Amino acid sequence: MRFIYLTDTHIGANPVGYHQQPAYPDKIAQLLDILKDDISNESVDFVIHGGDMVDYCQPDVIQFANEQFTLPVPTFLCLGNHDLDRKDALDVWMQHAPNLFVNASPNFKIIRDSFVIHVVPNQWEEGYEYYWNESGAQFPHFTNMQVKQLIKTIEKHPDKKHIIITHSPVFGMDKEQSGLDEVLHNVPAQFQQTFKNLVNTYPNIKMILSGHSHFNTIKQIEETLFVNVSSFVETPFNYKIIDITDEWINIETRQIDRNKLDFTPMYNKERAYVQGKNKDKNLLWYF
C-alpha cells in the first residue's frame, strides 16, 4: 500500500493566519497540478488530507477545495479545526463534499489486506462534537464513542496492522529539534494518555499520523510511530509518500519542485527546524 499524506492547505485564507513558514494557500491549484505528476509516477493508491483543508467552513470554499482535490486517485479527508468552525459544519461537508469520506461519516476506515487505516478527527471542546470555536481554548480529545469504535475495529482485525489519522498531533516538537527553550506546540496530557493507553493495549497500532502544528516530526514509542507533517501550502511545500508492507513502513518527505512554480516563494531560514533534519521527516522502519 502506498499513499500520499499532506495537510493544512487552508484554502480560502485571506489573510493568512497561523503559519510556520511563508504560506501560499492561493496557489493551491498550481501546487496540486505539480503533485499530480508524483501521484502518477509513484503509483500512489490514494491521498489522505490530514485536516484544515479549508480555512473556514463555507459551501463555496468547500466546493472549490473539493474541485482542486479532484486528483488521479481518491482523496480522503480527516477534518481539522478550521474545517469545523461552525456548528453545522459536518452537515455542510457531507452536503458539498461527501466523496472525501466513507459512508457519509467523518469517522471511517480504509481496509486493505494487512492494514486498516482509521480516520478519526479529534474534538476540540468538551460538550461540542465536530465544532471548533476559534475564540475558545483548544482541548483535543476523542469522544468515548470514538474510542469504543476504534477499539471495536482493532479487535475485529487482530491480525492486521493499524494506522490512526487525526488532526491534532499527540506530541509537540521537542527542544532538541527546535533548539528552543520549551516544547513547541505542546499537547494536553489527557490526549497523549489516550494514545498511550491504546498503543500499550494494542501493539499492532503501528503509526499515528497528524498535522495541525505545521511542522515535521517523527517520534517512536515502543512499537508505534507518531508522525506529523508540515503544511502543504507553506514553503517548501512538503508532503509524505508512505509505503507499507507486512514487514516495514517507509516514510519519505518530499517537496514540490519549485522550478515548476510561476512565483518565487519566500523561506524563513530561522525556522528551518519546521522541516527538521532527515531523522525528523524520513524513516524506514522494520517491525
Q: What is the pLDDT of residues 139-197, one digit of tens each?
A: 999 999 999 999 999 999 999 999 999 999 999 999 999 999 999 999 999 999 999 99
- Which tens digit of pLDDT belongs to each residue from 7-60? 999 999 999 999 999 999 999 999 999 999 889 898 999 999 999 999 999 999
Residue 284: the pLDDT is: 97
Task: Judge whether residue 202 has pLDDT over 90.
Answer: yes
In DSSP notation, the chain reads -EEEEE----BT-SS--S-SS-B-GGGHHHHHHHHHHHHHHTT--EEEE-S--BSS--HHHHHHHHHHT--SS-EEE---SGGG-STTHHHHHHHH-GGGSBTTBSSEEEE-SSEEEEE-PPB-BTTBSS---TTS----B--HHHHHHHHHHHHH-TTSEEEEE-SS-SS-B-HHHH-SSS-BT---HHHHHHHHHHHHH-TTEEEEEE-SS---EEEEETTEEEEE---TTBTTTEEEEEEE-SSEEEEEEEE--GGG-SS-----GGGGGGT--GGGT-EEEE-
Asked if the model's pLDDT at residue 136 lies above 80, the reply is no
Domain ranges of the chain: 2-286
Which fold is adopted by the domain 2-286? Purple Acid Phosphatase; chain A, domain 2 (3.60.21)
pLDDT digits (tens, 9 = 90+) for 69-88: 999 999 999 999 999 999 99
What confidence score (pLDDT) does residue 135 get? 83
Q: Which pLDDT tens digit goes with each residue over 210-239? A: 999 999 999 999 899 999 999 999 999 999
Phi, psi of 236 (to 5 degrees): -100, 25
Query: Which residue, among 133, 62, 128, 138, has the nearest Cα to 101 in the 3D structure?
Result: 62
